[in-house]
Amino acid sequence: MWVILSILLGALCIGLLVWIWTQRQALKGAARQMKQLEETDSTARLRLAVPNRPAEELLEQVNRLLELRREDRALWLDRERSLRQQIANVSHDLRTPLTSILGYLQLMEDPSLPERERQEYLSVVENRARALQNLITGFYDLSRLEGGEYPLERESVNLYTSLSGLLAAFYNDFTDRGFDMTVELEENLPPVWADSGGVLRIFTNLIRNALDHGRGKMTVRLYREGDQIVSLFANETDELDSEDLPHIFDRFFTSDKMRTGRNTGLGLAIVKTLAEQMNCTLTAQLEAGLFAIRIQWPL
């Protein structure tokens, strides 16, 4: 009897030792997998070679942490690439007017330069300096907006008054550039709860964007849609394509692929940031060469 019990106990001990050895090997294998994942940045998941419910639950949590780490790393890499590109774009956009200014200043040093040409060069220098000032101001304003350092004071704002006044101020700019204007501003609209300065900045940037990149037909509408007021700016353009549309409001995006300095890509980024901070819905469409930006202002 004792012999049988001894044999059974011995077999049980051997089985337990084998189980412990296999579990230990399985955990070692999981550790090797984790090391390989670290070295290769693989998206594979950790698995046990033999069943073990508690260890499998632990590995499941480890897998989730690994997935979160991969997502954070991918996001960090995207931000790093974006930041590098933005720095390159800013550097290029600053160099373009600066190089032009320095070049014309050198030409103006020529004592034999006719006065008429000297005045023309001076006008070019002034325009390039203003472009540089606008770039720096736009970058500063966008940084303040995104950093929460640009306070918006909400009040009742009459969009009809704001937009009609701006369109009147820019009327000569549109006519001089040959735009075929269609303006439909609904009167007696209720005021919206917004920042008056932010509203003017949004409308001004949209008008300047149309002047810089639009041509032919230009439509500006203001109307009520349910419990919202909608402002619509639409113009013909041949500078954009469907691949550009998702990036229209990105910081430093520009349809000027050669970055000649005509556009810094900050105007629409400021429009987006201001609109979002005033709880507006902003959308852009491109159809049959007609580019439209639509803003829904909540009442």
Reported as a single tens digit per residue, the pLDDT across 109-119 is: 888 888 888 89
pLDDT bracket for residue 99 (50, 70, 90): confident
What share of the chain has pLDDT > 90, as a percent?
24
- Which pLDDT score, from 0 to 100, does residue 250 have? 78
pLDDT bracket for residue 32 (50, 70, 90): low
pLDDT bracket for residue 199 (50, 70, 90): very high
Instruction: Tell me the residue type at 265.
Output: G
Judged against a pLDDT cut of 60, whether residue 269 lies above it is answered with yes
Give the residue, 179 or 79, on which the prediction is more confident: 179
- Which pLDDT score, from 0 to 100, does residue 10 have? 66
pTM over 0.85: no
What is the residue extent of each domain of the chain? 2-74, 88-146, 156-298
Reported as a single tens digit per residue, the pLDDT across 70-86 is: 777 778 777 777 667 66
Contact 30, 48 (CB under 8 A): yes
- Which pLDDT score, from 0 to 100, does residue 73 have? 77
Judged against a pLDDT cut of 70, whether residue 189 lies above it is answered with yes
Contact 222, 189 (CB under 8 A): yes
Judged against a pLDDT cut of 80, whether residue 96 lies above it is answered with no
**CATH class given for the domain over 88-146:** mainly alpha
Reported as a single tens digit per residue, the pLDDT across 214-268 is: 888 999 999 999 999 999 999 988 777 777 777 788 766 665 544 444 445 678 8
- Which pLDDT score, from 0 to 100, does residue 143 have? 76
Question: CA 247 to CA 255: how far, in whole Å?
Answer: 10
The whole-chain average pLDDT of the chain stands at: 79
Print the SS3 string covering 69-135.
HHHHHHHHHHHHHHHHHHHHHHHHHHHHHHHHHHHHHHHHCCCCCCHHHHHHHHHHHHHHHHHHHHH
- Which pLDDT score, from 0 to 100, does residue 193 have? 92
Reported as a single tens digit per residue, the pLDDT across 283-298 is: 999 887 889 999 999 9
Strands (E), the chain: 155-157, 180-185, 192-194, 215-225, 228-236, 281-287, 290-298
DSSP, collapsed to helix, strand or coil, labels residue 55 as helix
- Which pLDDT score, from 0 to 100, does residue 258 have? 44
> Under CATH, which number does the domain 156-298 receive?
3.30.565.10
